[in-house]
Structure 1
Amino acid sequence: MAKQLVIVESPTKAKTLERYLGSDYSVAASRGHVRDLPKKTMGVDVESDFLPEYGVPEEKADTVEHLRKAYRRATGLWLATDFDREGEAIAWHVAEAIGADPRAANRVTFTEITPSAVREAFERPRRIDFDLVNAQQARRILDRIVGYRLSPLLWEGLRRRDLSAGRVQSVALRLIVDREREIAAFAPIEYWSVDARLTPQDRGGEFLARLVQAGEEKLAPSPDKKGLLLSTEEEAEAHVARLRTAEYRVAEVRQKEVKRSPAPPFTTSTLQQEAARKLGFSSRRTMQIAQRLYEGVNIPGEGQVGLITYMRTDSVNIAEQALADLADVVRLQYGSQYALKEPRRFRKKQRGAQEAHEAIRPTSAGRLPEVLQTFLDRDQARLYRLIWQRTVASQMAEARFDQVSVDVEAHASDEGIRYLLRATGQTMTFDGFRRVYLEGRDDTADEDAESLLPALTARQALRLLELLPEQHFTQPPPRYSEASLVKTLEENGIGRPSTYAPTISTLLDRGYVRLEDRRFHPEDIGVVVTDTLVDHFPDIVDVGFTARMEEELDDIAEGEAEWVAVLREFYEPFMEALDRASGKIAPPEVILPELCPRCPEEGREAAHLVEKLGRFGRFVGCGNYPECKYTRPLEGDQRPEPVLLDELCPESGHPLMERTGRFGPFIGCSAYPECKYIKKEPPKSTGVPCPKCGEGELIERRGRFGPFYSCGRYPSCDFSVNYQPLPDPCPECKGLVVVARGGATRCTSCGRAWDAEGRELSAEEAAKLVPKSRGGPRKRTRSRAGAGRPSSRTRAKRTA
């Protein structure tokens, strides 16, 4: 019997939908895009109004053929790809690839995979929105033009084939590089504050008050504020000397109630920011886990269930029915005093926010985190709890505080100067939404932190206990974390919800930046690429220009601009800049006054040494290269002096010594070269259980071909894997999932794989992620005399 065909992106989503639609429908998965621009050519005919040359990639041929056959057997076609521009484009590509009429196909969208949402979507199908398709198409072509025209220029000029440039990634890189330069150029400014520890004359109760005014002049709390700045210790001490003999009295007491409101429910960017702050997740990791929660998890008694709404959204809106459900949960779980009389509705003012979409929220607030954690893996449970708490808190009562501000007068009797000091305190009288959730912070103090003051009244006499002058220095701006970088990109209109995670992954994968203590540091090559682009392509790395391009893409999506015109307006100036830069990009080199020490030894006239950029950063080389291959680290011959340690060498008995070698610091015997002992670093545990024995943990080790991961119970268990294991098991077979190329992940057991955003890849794409042996092909030989004998040495078995 023929059925209606429904096409979605992922098999997990297909499995969830099949439960809801019944036997009249057949659900198939496209596994992402089924058509794309060619890999080896630009694939855009600029002269023909930027006509894209789409084709079915080889690895998608079987998928498309399967969908085409299913369509021919079906009685109708329903395209249920994701609810965004990318999903709209996939729906159009699928229809074109299987021979369906894109303008006649049923298009259904939903922000949550629940029976009611799916039923409502299928009752109200629409047609493909070609404005959204064209907006996605314009973005894809724009990025292809920049990548295919600009990246080769960087390759040729900087002599590195692993470089790339892009509209969003290059701006993000510039933000990181500019911040590093701000930090390097920062000159700290000294300033002083003066606090007084006081107590009422008639009873106890100490408190601190800060000096805020001297005579008629108000003090500046920091150098960037207006007022009198205490710049030196001498200036501060002059006031302290007068305050030591002053009389203190309460001048005024002000009391008021302060209310705090909860943060809005999550958008894509705020989820990534908060997951980075509170859970330590990368943006990519957050999106992978959220994708699985959205597409469906098997819950006993319910089957395959979508637990959260669509995770690529810039809306903070919540559906009316969901608001009613949240109110019930708040009353049931926390009591009526925490519930709102009317739902709290949020609106996002940013351009491009789509209020028809929803914020990221649980599909059912009644599914409590503590109940679901039994059926989810650890990271899924943690992210679900975060989403649940933020959503529920957004519909809870405000927190209330009693805030007290006290002004204290100090009269210096000898000089008649009147000083004013101020103390503030607050106590929380009702926790409200804070009982469930409090938003994280990057680099600012908690303004709601409690501080108590004793009961004070106007004109009350006070006794000085101690004066506390304190030196301060202004601080440089902090380096970007993943959370603060995403926040800055969003605030400046750079990119869209779906682009943040891939952008950060690209910067890390290209080696443009590194993460240290969860902060971005630019590498030398990242600085050089940024400087090159700023010099020759200032628009590409200009925040304002890139934001305007995003607005023009929004105009296309809203039907207010024509996509070819937008591309043409960008292309012509871009090509002019490309022509001007051709032949002018070169690796940065700085000629040093020092002459090469090796040239005279080899019978050549000594050339000046040159500071150059290599694959692993800056170094010093000879100007006669390639005739002279003399090199040394940028710091010159000066490496850190070896440091003797208290620990003794286990082989010679001499003290061990910390040295710096060609590949960085290491600990070896101080009796080198007579003793060549080098202390090995202890293996690092990953926290991932061994999938073979289930008893040990996988630990990171170093081998001949680099790092690998093996069971901590070796040699009792010989399991090992070459790629970094992840704590979350495969959602299908519960096998070990490892990091693969390009930010993808794959299961070592069933072979399934997912891209950087968590979308499942086709079998063909997944197969290409399986690495070849690092040591090259091994020849297997069998000795006749030793056939069937066990080896005298057990070798750890590596599983790719």
Structure 2
Amino acid sequence: MNSKDSVIIIESPNKVKKIAGFTGARVFATIGHFMELKNIETDNNYKPVFDYVASKKQSIFSYINACKGKKVYVATDPDREGYGIGYMFYSKIKNVAKEVYRAEFHEITESGVEKGLREAVLFENTNKKYYEAFLGRRVSDMLIGYTLSPYISNRLNIKGLSAGRVQTPALSLITDRENEIRAFDNLSEDEKLTYQIQAKILINSQECIIKQIAEDKEFKFNTLKEAQEEIQKLSGVNNAMLISIEKKEVKSNPPKPYTTSKLLKDGSKKLKISTKEVQDIAQKLFEAGLITYIRTDSEFLSQEYLKSHQIFYQNLYPETYQYTEYKAGKNSQAEAHEAIRITHPHKLEDLKAMLQNENIAQTKEIELYKMIFLNTLCSQSKAAVYENTTLNFKIKMNDFRLSFKNLIYEGYLKLLKNTGFGPNDENKLENNSNALDSNNQEIDDDKDNNNLANNKINSIENPINLDISKLKPNDLIPIKEIFIKALNKNAPKRYLESDFIEVLEKKGIGRPSTYATYTTILSKREYILIEDKKREIAPTQRGMSVIEFFKNDTNAWILDIAFTKEMEEKLDLIAQNEESYINFMKQIHSKIGNEIKFSGGSNTKHQSQSEQSEKSKGNNNAKGSNKIPSSQKQIDFCKAIAQTLNINLPKNLEKTAISQKTLLTNTLKNSMRKNTRKKMRIKNNFDRHNKHNVYKGRKG
């Protein structure tokens, strides 16, 4: 498609050369946001005040000049934030350009760009409510951040603290989990155990373990004494009676196409890198034209791609290929957007050579592309089939069970052999869909700790060698031993960075364009540390103190996950013209209340103004400060935070508010300085290896 007399506006400079080569048009990149939110006129319907990013101003002016009298395609990224950037550029050129169109490039290939230009619509006819939704997110983030951040810094007398619409509830999930871990650790050793009665039986001279069940699930005793009393009733029994043998075929469906959260999760876990690094590599693959757009919550695959996939792979993998359509997903915001997939079908053995042609040569880059390639391939493959076998027994009047499963048809698992992502590999490809039994009844894999793809079994290491062909109901099976097994209770664990994004998604916090930024922001604020190769997220005392403060403050609403989710949903309603930007902002502002004022300007300016206000209050009360008693709320807050952080408070805590605040602050600072110095060295080592995103001007 020849567009040599046209201008195309995009975000990333890394796509300029490719798109210009495909189209012949002049292509310019804004490098993300080129307008900076400077202020909010809260008394003027929350009108945002924008100004040019100083470093980009001259370039943007030259792009505007190049658009004069031209046909312009605004092809900023195909999401809400991309639309917002595009709308800002459109507003600059709408009176000087010949025509302005909105185009979306979901893949940077010749056919993908051609399709985007062919289906472009006049920008004037697009849904401008997307821009209002974009504003709602950006302006509300500033309103909350620039009010609550200086507020908490002043109250705790610690500079540089911050709070945000998403980062604070996200941090609260991390600190709540840490409190659960501490509570569990404080249990006695006996309280950390449960007890189960098991029996060792002989089937064809092979030892097998059967477990006591009740109400169709494994039964466990809370105390050893209870288990001992029950096992005494079974003493002297030499045989278990076989009651029934049940066999059922169970399907293990192949992985669904990647959404952003699933890709970030799998990439971080398998490649052992941060979600930010996964996003950066995926962005590079997208810009090279190798995969589709990476910010999506959709599982949809286009008919155009499915047909090309079928033509290429149906004869290549006749035993496993299966044409499968996917819908966007119940929580997706864009049916038209596709999942993350490869752009061109090809053979696995051609993968490295193809990547080298696009200058993709780093090991992690190759591995991430391979992961996306296999996910795309498996999503169009048949399910694996297992035979689940259950043997039910009675020992006296107690029920016992033995269960195992055998793989009887490989399906998509066959494609994963010798790839490094197979079911027996450390980096096995995740099965992220529910299994179905032979009656198409859903089986929740999350409730069964054994992923069907792992071919793990319950009680027997190798079920294939267990011959049960001659067994029949009422057979008496010899018992070798009946015993009590002490089992560790499932201790709460810290979130892995790879899993945390999915937790946020399920709770309705954030959107695909911002998933990878949350842990980065919290880490930079020194609220969390991401430790060891597993990339466990641990809160620092600084982070714990922020959440503890808000739990005892009138602004505890900032921790409310339900409220955060509701705000995300309202942003979607704004885009659908079912909610207004002004009402959205009023609702958030009403939560903050009149106690904290927003006065605009940079974060530093806000902090200094707030600090100045607090100092004025302190000066007014200076003469009689030692005689002002602490309020009960202040005392309770100090005691709560001291207990959480394991710090000691003075005995004369109740005497003065000022000494209380000073002592608590100094204790916090010293404790944080002492206990986090070593961990921060680890964090800094991680930071040294982080690459800069090309989207330096784009947040999220």
Q: If the length of structure 2 is used for normalisation, what is the TM-score? A: 0.78
Q: What's 1:207 paired with? A: 208
Q: What's 2:76 paired with? A: 81
Q: What's 1:91 paired with? A: 86
Which shifted more, 506-515 or 365-374?
Answer: 365-374
1:326-345 equivalence runs, <5 A: 326-333=309-316, 335-340=317-322, 342-345=323-326
Cα contact 1:512–1:524 (8 A) shared by 2: yes
Distance 2:536 2:375 in 1: 25
Cα distance per residue 1:742-799 (max 9 Å; x no partner) = xx45xxxxxxx5539899xxxxxxxxxxxxxxxxxxxxxxxxxxxxxxxxxxxxxxxx
How far is 1:477 from its partner? 2.0
Q: Aligned pair 1:402/2:387, yes or no?
A: yes
Q: What's 1:164 paired with? A: 162
Cα contact 1:244–1:467 (8 A) shared by 2: no
Identity between Structure 1 and Structure 2 (%): 26
Higher relative contact order (Cα pairs below 8 Å, separated by 6+ residues): 2
Cα contact 2:557–2:591 (8 A) shared by 1: no
Q: What's 1:640 paired with? A: none
Distance 1:32 1:315 in 2: 23
Q: Aligned pair 1:192/2:187, yes or no?
A: no
Q: Aligned pair 1:30/2:30, yes or no?
A: yes
Cα distance per residue 1:283-313 (max 9 Å; x no partner) = 21111111111111xxxxxxxxx01100001
Q: Aligned pair 1:439/2:437, yes or no?
A: no
Q: What's 1:482 paired with? A: 497
In the superposition, relative to structure 1, how do residues 472 and 30 fare at CA in structure 2: closer, same or farther (>3 Å)?
same
Cα distance per residue 1:233-281 (max 9 Å; x no partner) = 5633751672553322322111121111123111111111111222222
RMSD: 3.6
1:610-759 equivalence runs, <5 A: 612-613=664-665, 617=669, 619=671, 726=689, 739=691, 744=692, 754-755=695-696
Aligned to 1:47, what secondary structure does the other structure show? coil
How far is 1:319 from its partner? 0.4
How far is 1:176 from its partner? 0.7
In the superposition, relative to structure 1, how do residues 383 and 610 fare at CA in structure 2: closer, same or farther (>3 Å)?
same
Tell me which amino acid in the other structure corresponds to 1:355.
E
2:516 to 501, 511, 514: 501
In the superposition, relative to structure 1, how do residues 5 and 307 fare at CA in structure 2: closer, same or farther (>3 Å)?
same
Aligned to 1:463, what secondary structure does the other structure show? strand
Distance 1:246 1:136 in 2: 72
Q: Aligned pair 1:532/2:534, yes or no?
A: no
How far is 1:373 from its partner? 5.0
Cα contact 1:198–1:465 (8 A) shared by 2: yes
In the superposition, relative to structure 1, how do residues 28 and 663 fare at CA in structure 2: closer, same or farther (>3 Å)?
closer
Cα distance per residue 1:545-564 (max 9 Å; x no partner) = 11111111001111222212
2:119 to 119, 124, 127: 124
2:293 to 299, 304, 310: 310
Aligned to 1:409, what secondary structure does the other structure show? strand
1:9-20 equivalence runs, <5 A: 9-20=11-22
Q: Aligned pair 1:60/2:52, yes or no?
A: no
Cα contact 1:193–1:236 (8 A) shared by 2: no
Tell me which amino acid in the other structure corresponds to 2:205.
G
Distance 2:413 2:61 in 1: 54
In the superposition, relative to structure 1, how do residues 219 and 78 fare at CA in structure 2: closer, same or farther (>3 Å)?
closer
Tell me which amino acid in the other structure corresponds to 1:210.
K
Cα contact 1:192–1:231 (8 A) shared by 2: yes
Tell me which amino acid in the other structure corresponds to 1:363.
T
In the superposition, relative to structure 1, how do residues 466 and 610 fare at CA in structure 2: closer, same or farther (>3 Å)?
farther
Aligned to 1:539, what secondary structure does the other structure show? helix
Q: What's 1:420 paired with? A: 399
Cα contact 2:71–2:98 (8 A) shared by 1: no
2:582 to 564, 581, 585: 564
Aligned to 1:105, what secondary structure does the other structure show? strand
Cα distance per residue 1:106-149 (max 9 Å; x no partner) = 11012112212211221222124311111101111101111111
Cα contact 2:312–2:345 (8 A) shared by 1: yes
Aligned to 1:78, what secondary structure does the other structure show? strand
How far is 1:406 from its partner? 0.5
In the superposition, relative to structure 1, how do residues 230 and 69 fare at CA in structure 2: closer, same or farther (>3 Å)?
closer
Cα distance per residue 1:88-109 (max 9 Å; x no partner) = 1111122334575699511101
Cα contact 2:242–2:475 (8 A) shared by 1: yes
Aligned to 1:469, what secondary structure does the other structure show? strand
Cα contact 1:277–1:440 (8 A) shared by 2: no
Distance 2:97 2:324 in 1: 40
**Matched pairs, number:** 602
How far is 1:459 from its partner? 2.9
Aligned to 2:33, what secondary structure does the other structure show? coil
Distance 1:615 1:54 in 2: 41
Distance 2:667 2:333 in 1: 42
How far is 1:492 from its partner? 1.2
Q: What's 1:554 paired with? A: 572
Q: What's 1:384 paired with? A: 369
Q: What's 2:536 paired with? A: 519
In the superposition, relative to structure 1, how do residues 520 and 618 fare at CA in structure 2: closer, same or farther (>3 Å)?
farther
Distance 1:290 1:209 in 2: 47
In the superposition, relative to structure 1, how do residues 616 and 440 fare at CA in structure 2: closer, same or farther (>3 Å)?
farther
Q: What's 2:620 paired with? A: none
Cα contact 1:588–1:613 (8 A) shared by 2: no
Cα contact 1:289–1:758 (8 A) shared by 2: no
Distance 2:574 2:324 in 1: 34
Aligned to 1:109, what secondary structure does the other structure show? coil
2:476 to 461, 482, 485: 461
Cα contact 2:34–2:53 (8 A) shared by 1: yes
Tell me which amino acid in the other structure corresponds to 2:451.
E
Q: What's 2:628 paired with? A: none
In the superposition, relative to structure 1, how do residues 532 and 758 fare at CA in structure 2: closer, same or farther (>3 Å)?
closer
Distance 1:132 1:234 in 2: 62
In the superposition, relative to structure 1, how do residues 396 and 371 fare at CA in structure 2: closer, same or farther (>3 Å)?
farther
Cα contact 1:536–1:577 (8 A) shared by 2: no
5+ residue gaps, structure 2: 417-421, 423-428, 433-445, 458-462, 599-609, 615-630, 643-647, 653-658
Cα contact 2:496–2:536 (8 A) shared by 1: yes
In the superposition, relative to structure 1, how do residues 609 and 423 fare at CA in structure 2: closer, same or farther (>3 Å)?
same
5+ residue gaps, structure 1: 224-228, 297-305, 411-416, 596-606, 621-631, 635-661, 666-700, 709-722, 727-737, 746-752, 760-800
Tell me which amino acid in the other structure corresponds to 2:22.
Y
In the superposition, relative to structure 1, how do residues 172 and 609 fare at CA in structure 2: closer, same or farther (>3 Å)?
closer
Distance 1:664 1:319 in 2: 50
Tell me which amino acid in the other structure corresponds to 1:277.
K
Q: What's 1:47 paired with? A: 43
Cα distance per residue 1:426-482 (max 9 Å; x no partner) = 100111122336317999732323431431332333222333421123233221111
How far is 1:499 from its partner? 1.6
Distance 2:264 2:392 in 1: 42
Cα contact 2:231–2:483 (8 A) shared by 1: no
Aligned to 1:53, what secondary structure does the other structure show? strand
More strand per residue: 1 or 2? Answer: 1
Distance 2:674 2:109 in 1: 60
Cα contact 2:34–2:697 (8 A) shared by 1: no
